[in-house]
Structure formats: structure tokens, C-alpha cells
Structure 1
Amino acid sequence: MPQAPIGSKDTLGDIYYKTYTEEACGDTTHQPVWGLKQKDRFVEFGACRDWYLGSFPLGEFNRQRARTHEGLYRAYIIGEANTRAANHQIVREWRTMVRERADWEKYRERLLKQVQDFEQMKSAFAEDKAAFEAEKKSEEWGCEGLKNKLHAAEELLSNEHAEWKKVCEKDNQRMYVARSKITDLEAQIATLKGKVEKVEADKGR
């Protein structure tokens, strides 16, 4: 499509669109030539018109410029009808989306509460488990202590029994020796008594 001639009253935006060629600038980033200021709002005709004039890339501008008046009219009717229909559906679904969002927020709060409760239960379980392990270890140590005491008592009893046996053996030996001595003394006494009786008998004659 031939380029439109540049007029004396053309703005920088007009020149930007009129001098575009796909061969020379097709891969260049679209940079709208706007007169918009940061304080502008879309309540003023000039700001809205300026935004519209510079919004679309040059390739799309040329595509639309190549349409016939009938083609542009049909595109406008179809586009406007679709835009209005989409807006209508958005309005109809807006409350549903808001309610779904509210329900999702409530679900999210419940989920966070469940996670918090789970973390608290997990922490309490860890504390109970640690206390149980400590108590179990204490019981094991107590049981081990009792076993050690029992073993020591059994060992002491065994040693005492061995000592008692040794004492008994020594006492038996002592009693045997004493009994032998007593028997010898009794024999000696009997002999001496017999001699005394014999002497007395001889004196009586």
C-alpha cells in the first residue's frame, strides 16, 4: 500500500504511522508517539483520542487502513457486538466470581487454621514423645539399677556362703581336734583314776 503524503499539520504520531514500512521497520519495537502525561485520566476526550491513535502497532494500522469502508463497518459491528456481549457476560458472572472468591478466601482461612492446628499437634506430639522417651529411659535405668543391686546381693550372698562354708570347715576341724583331745584326756583321766583306785586299794590291805 502506498504511503500517505505527509502534511504540514501532521503530528509526530501521524508522521510515525505514515512513514512506516514493514521491510524497513517490521521487527522494530512499537513505540507509540503519545502526548499523554502521567497526570492524564480517561475522562477527557483529548487523552482518550491520543491513547487510541497511538495504541496499535503500525502493521495492524496498515491492515485496517487496507479495508474497504464496508469491511471496516462490518468489522466494527462484529467487534462491538462481541465486546458488548462479553461485557454483559462479565457483569452477569461478576457476583458469582466475587462469591467464589469469598468462598475461596474462607476455605483458605480454614486450611491455614488446619495447618496451624496440625503444627501445634505435631509440636505437642514431639514433646509427649520426648517425655515418653525420657521416662522410658528412666525406667530402663531404674530396672538396670535393680538388676545391678540384685546381682550384687547374689554375689555378696555367694561370698558369704563361701565364707560360712570355710568357717564351718575350720570349726569342724577345730571340733574334731578338740574332741580328739577330750577323748585323750578322758582316757588319761580314766587311766589315772584306775591307778588312784588301785593305790587306795593297796593301802587298805
Structure 2
Amino acid sequence: MPQNIGPKDTPGDIYYKAYTEEARGNAPHQAPWGLKQKDMFNEFGPCRDWFLNSFPPGEANRQRARTHDGLYQAYVVGEANTRAANHQIVREWRTMVKERADWEKYRERHVRQAREFEKAIAKFDEEKAKFEADRKSEEWGREGLRGKLHTAEDLLAKERAEWKKICAKDNERMYAARSKIIELEGNVAELTRKVEDAQVAQENAKVWRSFTLSLC
């Protein structure tokens, strides 16, 4: 049954007191606050309005049913977990940022080496063109021409092999760094969820305290 509604009750008081699971249990929660789009949480009024009216009446009743000791214990546990989670988030965020910076350095080095390889190819093409021009203007023996060409091709093949090794090594490092970043982001998301859960418990406690004070 709805609770007694007094003449001085606010719309929020009436909204919560008039709640019954049978009548409104499946209705969408429509917070009876007066928050405006321009409001910010740097003032007491909007923060208090949000705390008083943000939770659905069913949750408010669940918290109201707690004993004083139970509510106090939930508040202490939630606050401690929130602080501990915040501490771990700060530590892991610092690690994630550092590893992201290391990954950026690997990427920059990879790009720099790619440019150097492109320059080496351009130089080789230039030398090859010069070689073709010299071959036309000079009377070289067939074996001499073949030997010079093979030497140039062997050099290019060696440089390409070295380049592939460098690329493979840098790719492994970048993949490991990226995997670590993804793992840390997942940890941050999990910790954030835990913080939100703890904050919900804390906010429930504050709602109950505010409600208790309003009845005094």
C-alpha cells in the first residue's frame, strides 16, 4: 500500500510514496527531478536532486528495508571498494599510457625504416638504370655483364631479406603492445563497472540517509 502522503511532500516524495509493485511495478522509471539540461554537478542543488530521485522506487524500498547496521555496513564496504578500485584504475591507467607511448615509438621507427627502405629501392633503381646505360655504351663481355647483374640482384635480395626480418620483428612488438593495451582497456572497463556498482551502493546509502533525515 502507498505510504501516507503529507501536504508538504514534494513531487519526488509523492512519486516514491505512491509506489506499489502491483500498480506500478512494470512502469518505466521517470525520475521526478527538476534537473535542466544546463545544470552541472558543481553545485549542491542539482547533485542533491539527482541523488534523491535517480533511483527507481523498487530499489529505494529495498534499501529502506535494510537495518541501520546493514545499511551502514553496505556504505562502508561500498566506499572502501570504490576507493580501492579508483586506486587500481589510476595505477593501471598509468601503465597503459606508458605502454601506448612505447607502441607509438615502435610505430614511428617502423615508418622511418619503411622510408629508408624506399630510398634504398630508389637508389637501386637509379643504379640499375645507370648500369643499363653503361651496358649499352660499353663493350662488356657477356660473363662480366652477367656477374655484375647477379651481384646487384643478390644485394637487393639480401636487403629485402633483412627488411622482412625487421618488419616481422617490429610487427611482433607492435602486436604485443597492442594486445597489452587492449587487455588494459578491458581491465579498466571491468574496474569502471566495479566502481559504478560500488557507487550505486554508496548512492543508495546516501538516498536512504537523506530520506531518514527528511522524516526527522
Instruction: Give the structure-1-normalised TM-score.
Output: 0.49
Structure with greater Cα Rg: 1
Instruction: Give the structure-2-normalised TM-score.
Output: 0.47
Q: Which has the higher contact order (CA 8 A, sep 6+)?
A: 2
